[in-house]
């Protein structure tokens, strides 16, 4: 268990991750780019960072990647024209935001 992380927030992220793993990837998003973002790669990079955050606070490089992914999701969401795919990426966005929030809560104080 991560020392300073709120149990309920960590449990929430873990539950969200389990939900994400059960959700099928929207098939029509394979091979698709929106706003210059490869949608499969965006999902994979974000998911990798979220999984890492379940083990402990993200180190600098992985945290930077997650912040870039979060910004990319925010950029593409308005352009996703399918409710199922939009829901899928909104859930991904919510997980990424919570992972960042948990990381910020556990960042060393300067």
Residue of 28 and 104 predicted with greater confidence: 28
Q: Is the pLDDT of residue 92 over 60?
A: yes
Which pTM value belongs to this model? 0.86
- Phi, then psi, of 87 in degrees rounded to 5: -60, -45
pLDDT of residue 2: 41
pLDDT band at 79 (very low <50, low <70, confident <90, very high): very high
pLDDT of residue 6: 52
Pick the closest to residue 63 from 53, 74, 77, 78 (CA basis). Answer: 53
């Amino acid at each position: 268990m991560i020392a300073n992380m709120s149990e309920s927030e960590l449990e929430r992220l873990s539950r969200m991750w389990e939900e994400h793993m059960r959700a099928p990837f929207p098939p029509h998003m394979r091979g698709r780019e929106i706003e210059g973002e490869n949608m499969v790669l965006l999902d994979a990079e974000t998911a990798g960072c979220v999984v890492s955050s379940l083990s402990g606070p993200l180190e600098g490089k992985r945290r930077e990647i997650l912040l870039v992914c979060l910004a990319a999701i925010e950029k593409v969401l308005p352009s996703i024209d399918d409710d199922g795919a939009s829901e899928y990426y909104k859930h991904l966005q919510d997980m990424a935001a919570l992972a960042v929030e948990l990381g910020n809560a556990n960042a060393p104080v300067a």
